[in-house]
Amino acid sequence: MLIVGGGIAGIVAALRASEHGWTVTLVERQPVLGGLLASVRPAGGKHSFDFGTHIPAATGDDELDALLFGGMRDEEWRVFPVLHAGTFWNGRLSPDSACLDLRTLPPTDYAAVLTEMLDETVVPAVGFETLADQLTAVYGPRLLATVFEPVLRKFYGLGSAELAPDAHRLFGLVRFLCLDPETARKVKRNPVLDGKVGLHDFRETVLGAPTHLARYPRAGGVGRWIDHLARKLADAGVNVRLGVGLSRLDAERGVATTTAEETLEFDQLGWSLPPSQLLRLLPHSAAASWPSPRLATATLYHFLTESEPLPLSLYVTCYDPAFRLFRVTLYRNLQPDVGGPARITVELISTEANSPRPSPEEIFDELRRMNVMAEEAQFLRCFTQELGPAFPLQTPALHAANRHAAECVAVDFPQAFLLGRAAGNGFFMRDVLLDVCRTVARVPGPSAIARPGTVMRRIETMIAALRSRPARPGSIHSH
Ligand SMILES: Cc1cc2nc3c(=O)[nH]c(=O)nc-3n(C[C@H](O)[C@H](O)[C@H](O)COP(=O)(O)OP(=O)(O)OC[C@H]3O[C@@H](n4cnc5c(N)ncnc54)[C@H](O)[C@@H]3O)c2cc1C
């Protein structure tokens, strides 16, 4: 089996497939595995930074969790029974809750929003054409107008009528603080309201169930997790090819050629990149007219500072449209035992391709104004990193194109299967990994499959053998 893309989706697919008895080759374009879960040490320094906030958490699937976390040494990993997240919105820092606090709205808006929010009517989970339809039905028009629209414009550069259902989930905009803590706990006994009303303190969330523990290395970055999984790939005998992509694909013969001109044979192909890239490589007739999705790009600002961050949150998401930054990761709180300057990664999302990026000074000033850093705090150094395209804008057209791509692949290239974030079946790591396991489990076992190339090669060998035989007198040959 050949797996393309060595992000977490490709790594887990390779490990699962080798557990199912496949001989697996994994191809990754970068010189290291991990995709968005790699870590960097800028300028060859000793300080490690991640590509944003990535704190691996157990999925609740025992087999998968054993594969992901089995064999980790306790002294190397910090375990979090619950993730301490904070938010900044409406000019206020809430260091202990990942939910927006609607009580900070002007009183008339708050009253109207609350009445609509606390409507207990059960709304169907599917069947909406746009996000605007979905949010109006679930939360009511006032919350849509006063809260969702400005935040969606900040992150996507689009309004809810231009976005696909569920696009708000990518940014965790699901539950809100709208009552006092005691009343919220009571109201949440109602399953409909439980889906909309948040708890006021991160310590009350259910991540603390033993199966949902999150982990982060005591030193270094999340890339250590990838190193741990890379050792498992080696133990499983997976052939990992780094620094190469595919330049040609002969689906009929089951042969792929890498950009290093190496030939790789396969009977099944796992594809964790956007499906349009697979269609182009085949090439498939649908590829020519494929719409190019609008992409959001991400820029990272990695700061070193002698000042300590003010909140104790592991990360803070900034929903406030008056601020440019998206999320702040506070490594001091993730790794309190690591000395030296405090490390901070700020993620910035841009939807305008050529919009000028704010300077590190402007971003650090936002941290001061958010009360994440003290007013007098300064940074020692900042390393900026362009992540490039981070995710496609979640429009109905994108979802339709992804569905169409999946159909084209299923019909015209049945020995391929789509994996990961790019397959469109999930965005967050947990959803992506559970989907990867389901997908790999559906692939028939290696013994049940005749290699697509095998039959062709057998026929070619027979033809070559026939051709090399001396011609019998009187027989006719066509060339
Ligand atoms: C801005 C942002 C914030 C996020 N925040 C969170 C979060 O808070 N929590 C969470 O759970 N998830 C979060 N995610 C999602 C999480 O990062 C993904 O679920 C996870 O990384 C998906 O892994 P993947 O393997 O599908 O994709 P990637 O990590 O993108 O991996 C794809 C791999 O394919 C490789 N590749 C690309 N082209 C080729 C080629 N031609 N040939 C070979 N290899 C190639 C890439 O180099 C990369 O290694 C976030 C994502 C983004 C973009």
**pLDDT tens-place string over residues 430-439:** 999 999 999 9
> Among positive and negative, which fits the CA dihedral 265, 271, 277, 283?
positive
204 CA distance to ligand 1 middle (Å): 30
User: Is 467 a member of any domain?
Assistant: no
Residues 188 and 230 in one domain: no
User: Is 304 a member of any domain?
Assistant: no
Q: Is 208's pLDDT higher than 90?
A: no
* pLDDT at residue 466, rounded to an integer: 47
Tell me what the pLDDT averaged over the chain comes to.
Answer: 89
The region of weakest confidence among 240-249, 435-444, 453-462 is 453-462
Q: Which residue has the tokens 């009511």?
A: 140
> Among positive and negative, which fits the CA dihedral 16, 17, 19, 24?
negative
* pLDDT at residue 276, rounded to an integer: 85
User: Is 348 a member of any domain?
Assistant: no
Residues 33 and 103 in one domain: no
What is the total count of domains within the chain? 2
Residues 185 and 144 in one domain: yes
CATH code of 425's domain: 3.50.50.60
Residues 103 and 193 in one domain: yes
User: Is 169 a member of any domain?
Assistant: yes
In the predicted model, what is the mean pLDDT of residues 70-96? 92
How far out from the chain centre does Cα 310 lie? Answer: 28
User: Is 324 a member of any domain?
Assistant: no
Start-to-end CA span in the chain (Å)? 36
421 CA distance to ligand 1 middle (Å): 7
Comparing CA positions, the residue from 252, 374, 262, 248 lying closest to residue 309 is 374
Contact 264, 25 (CB under 8 A): yes
* Amino acid type, 463: I
Residues 196 and 237 in one domain: no
Where a domain ends, among 200, 234, 249?
200
288 band by pLDDT with thresholds 50, 70 and 90: confident
The region of weakest confidence among 318-327, 335-344, 423-432 is 423-432
101 CA distance to ligand 1 middle (Å): 30
Q: Which residue has the tokens 């960097």?
A: 40
The radius of gyration of the chain from alpha carbons, rounded to an integer in Å, stands at: 25
C-alpha to C-alpha distance for 53 and 64, rounded to whole angstroms: 22
Residues 401 and 279 in one domain: yes
Residues 106 and 194 in one domain: yes
Q: Which residue has the tokens 């079946």?
A: 425
Q: Which residue has the tokens 């900070």?
A: 104
Give, using CA atoms, the residue closest to atom 42 of ligand 1: 245
User: Is 426 a member of any domain?
Assistant: yes
Query: Which structural domain, as residue segments, surrounds residue 288?
Result: 2-38+222-292+395-446
Phi, psi of 241 (to 5 degrees): -110, 110
Residues 34 and 164 in one domain: no
User: What angle, rounded to 10 degrees, do the helices at 223-235 and 8-19 form?
Assistant: 20
Secondary structure element (H or E) that encloses residue 351, with its range? none
**E-only strand ranges, 162-314:** 176-177, 214-217, 239-242, 246-250, 255-258, 263-265, 269-271, 295-305
Please indicate whether residue 420 or residue 167 has the higher confidence score (pLDDT).
Answer: 167
C-alpha to C-alpha distance for 425 and 423, rounded to whole angstroms: 6
Ligand 1 pocket: which residues have CB below 6 Å? 4-10, 27-30, 35-37, 52-53, 245, 272-273, 298, 347, 390-391, 420-422, 427-429, 432
In the predicted model, what is the mean pLDDT of residues 271-300? 88
Comparing CA positions, the residue from 246, 309, 291 lying closest to residue 405 is 291
Phi, psi of 185 (to 5 degrees): -60, -40
Contact 345, 333 (CB under 8 A): no
Residues 414 and 273 in one domain: yes
45 band by pLDDT with thresholds 50, 70 and 90: confident
User: Is 92 a member of any domain?
Assistant: no
Q: Measured from the CA of 422, which atom of ligand 1 is nearest?
A: 26
420 CA distance to ligand 1 middle (Å): 8
Contact 341, 323 (CB under 8 A): no
Residue 393, both tokens: 């804008």
Contact 106, 183 (CB under 8 A): no
In the predicted model, what is the mean pLDDT of residues 124-141? 93
Residues 190 and 227 in one domain: no
Q: Is 450's pLDDT higher than 70?
A: no
**pLDDT tens-place string over residues 394-416:** 999 988 888 888 889 889 899 99
C-alpha to C-alpha distance for 286 and 392, rounded to whole angstroms: 19
Contacts 24+ apart (CB under 8 A), 284-287: 284/408, 284/412, 284/413, 286/404, 286/405, 286/408
C-alpha to C-alpha distance for 92 and 102, rounded to whole angstroms: 11
User: Is 468 a member of any domain?
Assistant: no
C-alpha to C-alpha distance for 319 and 328, rounded to whole angstroms: 12
458 band by pLDDT with thresholds 50, 70 and 90: very low
Instruction: Check residue 146 and report its DSSP letter.
Output: I
Phi, psi of 225 (to 5 degrees): -65, -40
**pLDDT tens-place string over residues 255-283:** 999 999 999 999 999 999 988 899 999 88
Give, using CA atoms, the residue closest to atom 41 of ligand 1: 245
167 CA distance to ligand 1 middle (Å): 17
Residues 17 and 153 in one domain: no
Q: Is 478's pLDDT higher than 90?
A: no
Residues 405 and 287 in one domain: yes
